[in-house]
Structure 1
Amino acid sequence: MALPRALRALDHGEFRVFFAAQTLTVVGNWMQSVAQSWLVLQITDSPFRLGLISTFMFGPMLIFSIPAGAVADRLPKRRVVVTSALIQGAMGLTLTALVASGSIRYWHVATIAVVWGLVNALDTPARQAFLVDLVGREDVGNAIALNSVAFNGARIVGPAVAGVLIGAFGLSSAFLLNAFAGLVGALALAAVGTSGTRVPRGDASFGQQILEGLRYAGGTPRVRRLLGVLFVVTITIFNFSVYIPLLTRDVLAAGPGTFGLLMAAIGIGAMTGAFALGAASRAEPTFPLLAAAAGVSCAGLCVLSAVSRVWLAALVLLIVGLASIVAVAGVNTALQMMAPDALRGRVMSIYTLIFGGVFPFGAFLAGATAETWGVRAALAGAGGFGLAVLALILAAGVRRATAVNDPSG
């Protein structure tokens, strides 16, 4: 029996296995993220050092994402995602042992953040490019939307479970369950029959293959505009691991339970946006839709900077979550549908570079601004900056369209 339109990618059996395994591993990651954020605040009591952990985690993407895309085009993608899940399990076990023994230090958390960043630099473009091999080009947009649902469902389940576990059994329990999720996820991913398309190496050198992907992205105006929207959302919106703990503690005067509630609100909004995107037609999402979604997200940060009640903060974050996932998943879908098969890993590595590599700057700025002027100023500044950059992108697009249509030009 065929599944409903919003779930059509799950008609593909191998994608069902991949989807289940990925959902499990992402739930574990979110549990560890919540526990790690609370752990760093306990160890250091420093918003700046909390933001620095995110910089350590995503910094490797800035350095290695582009060459990793060329590597991802050469390797069997199933091998990459299985290895990534195994490393996730190993890191969870390491943090469990360090916390349980009482020997955990800030540098331990920072080192594990760097290792995870290196793994993600290769895993993310490979995982994204693997979707077309699993479901085909026609259903890749729905597969991306369902992955977003899984990610944001995990954002609800992971923090909620982590909050209960931390309160009942301590921080080490959340790290232990992340280890379990990584190891079980690796076994499930290994059962996927498709290994993933590999691009023949041919006569082109590794450096030439990297340049080929960069030239395609830089020479395609629609790709440039899409990546601009992604840049805005990434550098301003997705610093939740910095904003939300500080908003919870310093503005709302609450604890881990409220932190989990606010993270869940983001996840509910994002799941709603992803389901809406997944139920849409197979056509590429339009650029005006994606730019508008990014604008709503940035405006939401400005509103959030003025709230003082938990229920209102949760409502605003739900809207921010919905709009931001429409923007980011929509950009992902458009890029995958546009990219030639032979370049998909490299195109998605540029997506990864911006999605993950730009994040350290946003996290660093958010943490530094919050430590100097408070989290309200950090939220308002990020939202205002994002709206200004979006205005510049839209203005540049209008100028280009005018120049193309001007018969005197």
Structure 2
Amino acid sequence: MWRESGPVFRALWIGVLASNVGTWMQTVGAQWLVVGEPDAATWVSLVQAVTTLPVLLFALPAGAVADALDRRRLLLGVQGTLFLIAAALAALTALGAVGPALLLVFTFLLGCGQALTLPTWQAVIPEIVPHEQLPAASALGAVNTNLARSVGPALAGVLVAQFGSALVFGLNALSFAVFAVALLRWRRPADRPAGRPEHFASALRAGGRFVRWSPVIRRILGRVLFFVLPGSVVWALVPLVARQELGMGASGYGILLAALGVGAIAGALLMPRARRLLRTNQMIVVTGAVQGVALLVVALVPVALAVVPALVAAGAAWMMLVSRMNAAMQLNLPNWVRARALAIYQLVFAGGQALGAVAWGQAAEAFGLRQTFGMAAGLMLAGTLTVRRWPVHTHEDEDHAPAVFWPEPHLMLQPHLADGPILVSATYRVSGADPAAFVAAMQELRASRQRTGATQWGLFRDGADPARFVEVYLVATWEEHLRQHRGRLTGEDERIEERVIALADGPPEVRHLLPAEHSD
């Protein structure tokens, strides 16, 4: 299967690489365009913030759209729009008509396109790559991002110094066209999952509910936030480090960002060995410590010969942590909610960068660059120390493939799809097992119910018959409950339910209670 999908993945990977290189060139060109303005620290950090802020606004809606529509067509439409926006920015910059405020507007629009692209592309990968190859594909995705982070800034630094930012913006426009061509060559199968797409609002709620009731996903998101908030100081303020602390020009700025990219590529090459030698939480500790020390070097030793190697180490640590968390997300997500959950991941990741960029920019204005990097280093090391209290358990061996194991409900009354709420009850007899063990197993089942559609859940014991337990849960609509029957449950959900049944006297008696006003 990998042989069949390999050429498709390779072509799209190259297209994404071109787009990522263009995006990094765009960022360098935009930041250098405002680095000579009054209050440069604020303008530079605002460019970084406005680049990632759209993810906060549109990532989750984009994930819902990507789970409902043809992802190839969606990506094609977005790339075409981004091409037009980037081309207009290049033309206006060449005419000298772009000031800082207008530059932020264009940067925001390009960020909106990226907010739509990121979760859609992430959700496409499992359609192309076999499940067992997802960790390798995730690592290649990290290589892609960080190769672009290495090549893009270095190339942009040279081009900006020689020709100005307009040329860089034009090349960014062409990069979107390259990705569009790769998408045109991909022939996505036309068959779609059975059933109609989810309504937009209910799809958003379902995505948020899934993440809320997935402890593994919540821990991954929390760990990303602990790392990205202090780590974002590098991406926000490295232009000022180049100019104010090291006395470098645009090409020197490109060298510093290239050092980050080179380190990230080195980290990607080390990932297979690190994955074998270090468990997830050990990886978190090591990468956090390396990143914290690198930030301290920038704060305490503002010399190029020390800063460049420190940024190489920081790039490696950044890539290894992000790649590990991204792979854990991919392996712990079922297909039905993949784009939405990955959109929330992107929201946390980019939101942490945006908020961090603004905060570190203001800190640099108030306290100075060196003090700001010192504060970020302290925050990074403090966050790393929380691993013992809040570890990440990824459970990558769990089965998240769809599993249809509930029987179809047989009702005398036929509800409409929009009817609701629906009250589902399941009556168990627990006469031979330990009731406490059964209740504990039911708490795990509760999370399964609420991940897949239940809005409320309860477990009750009959006072007149202590062996009789009744589980009840509410689902918003009949259609939402049918989705539980026909595709939302996974092999892991089936394992949880089998454990509950093993502790009871057999399968439960299930009843579906419909709204009385719609029962005739």
1:369 paired residue number: 363
Q: What are the residue-to-residue correspondences of 1:97-116 with 2, within 5 Å?
A: 97-116=91-110
1:352 paired residue number: 346
Quote the offset at 1:343 in angstroms. 1.4
1:231 paired residue number: 225
Q: What are the residue-to-residue correspondences of 1:124-163 with 2, within 5 Å?
A: 124-163=118-157
CA deviation vs aligned residue, 1:72-125 (integer Å, no higher than 9, x gap) = 111222223323332332232122112211111112111112212222222111
1:179 paired residue number: 173
Q: Distance in 2 between matches of 1:284 and 1:132?
A: 25
Q: What are the residue-to-residue correspondences of 1:72-83 with 2, within 5 Å?
A: 72-83=66-77
CA deviation vs aligned residue, 1:327-358 (integer Å, no higher than 9, x gap) = 11110001101111111111101111111122
**SS at structure 1 position matched to 2:186:** coil
More deviation, 150-159/328-337: 150-159
Instruction: Flag structure 2 segments of 5+ consecutive residues without an equivalent.
Output: 393-520
Is residue 77–residue 126 contact of structure 1 (8 Å, CA) maintained in 2? yes
Number of residue pairs the alignment of both structures matches: 394
Q: TM-score, normalised by structure 2?
A: 0.70
The partner residue of 1:309 within 303, 306, 316 is 303
Q: Distance in 1 between matches of 2:136 and 2:235?
A: 27
**SS at structure 2 position matched to 1:395:** coil
The partner residue of 1:25 within 19, 28, 32 is 19
Quote the offset at 1:312 in angstroms. 0.9
1:245 paired residue number: 239
1:41 paired residue number: 35
**SS at structure 1 position matched to 2:389:** helix
The partner residue of 2:44 within 27, 39, 50 is 50
Q: Which amino acid aligns with 2:308?
A: A
Q: Which amino acid aligns with 2:282?
A: P
Of structures 1 and 2, the one with the larger relative CO (CA 8 A, separation 6+) is 1
Quote the offset at 1:225 in angstroms. 1.8
Q: Which amino acid aligns with 1:247?
A: V
1:404 paired residue number: none
Cα distance 1:159–1:115, how it changes in 2: closer, same or farther (>3 A)?
same
Quote the offset at 1:43 in angstroms. 4.2
Cα distance 1:11–1:118, how it changes in 2: closer, same or farther (>3 A)?
closer
Q: Distance in 1 between matches of 2:47 and 2:185?
A: 34
**SS at structure 2 position matched to 1:339:** coil
Quote the offset at 1:249 in angstroms. 1.1
Q: Distance in 2 between matches of 1:81 and 1:275?
A: 29
Q: Distance in 2 between matches of 1:291 and 1:212?
A: 33
Q: Which amino acid aligns with 1:137?
A: H
Q: Which amino acid aligns with 1:15?
A: F
Q: Which structure has the larger Rg? A: 2
Whether 2:162 is the aligned partner of 1:168: answer yes
Whether 2:270 is the aligned partner of 1:276: answer yes
1:259 paired residue number: 253
Q: Distance in 1 between matches of 2:197 and 2:168?
A: 48
Quote the offset at 1:280 in angstroms. 6.9
What is the root-mean-square deviation of aligned Cα atoms in Å? Answer: 2.8
CA deviation vs aligned residue, 1:38-69 (integer Å, no higher than 9, x gap) = 00213445211221222222222112222222
Q: Distance in 2 between matches of 1:37 and 1:324?
A: 22
Cα distance 1:156–1:341, how it changes in 2: closer, same or farther (>3 A)?
same
CA deviation vs aligned residue, 1:127-176 (integer Å, no higher than 9, x gap) = 11111111121111111211211221112221222122122222211111
Quote the offset at 1:261 in angstroms. 0.8
Cα distance 1:41–1:203, how it changes in 2: closer, same or farther (>3 A)?
closer
CA deviation vs aligned residue, 1:197-216 (integer Å, no higher than 9, x gap) = 96666585433332332233
Quote the offset at 1:239 in angstroms. 4.1
Greater fraction helix: 1
Whether 2:384 is the aligned partner of 1:378: answer no
**SS at structure 1 position matched to 2:28:** helix
Q: Distance in 2 between matches of 1:114 and 1:196?
A: 34
CA deviation vs aligned residue, 1:193-242 (integer Å, no higher than 9, x gap) = 22699666658543333233223322232222211121122222134342
Cα distance 1:196–1:59, how it changes in 2: closer, same or farther (>3 A)?
farther
Question: Could you tell me the percent identity over the aligned residues?
Answer: 31
**SS at structure 1 position matched to 2:132:** coil
Greater fraction strand: 2
Q: Distance in 1 between matches of 2:62 and 2:119?
A: 8
Q: Which amino acid aligns with 1:313?
A: V
Instruction: Flag structure 1 segments of 5+ consecutive residues without an equivalent.
Output: 3-7, 399-409
**SS at structure 1 position matched to 2:188:** coil
Q: Distance in 1 between matches of 2:92 and 2:193?
A: 42
Q: Which amino acid aligns with 2:159?
A: L
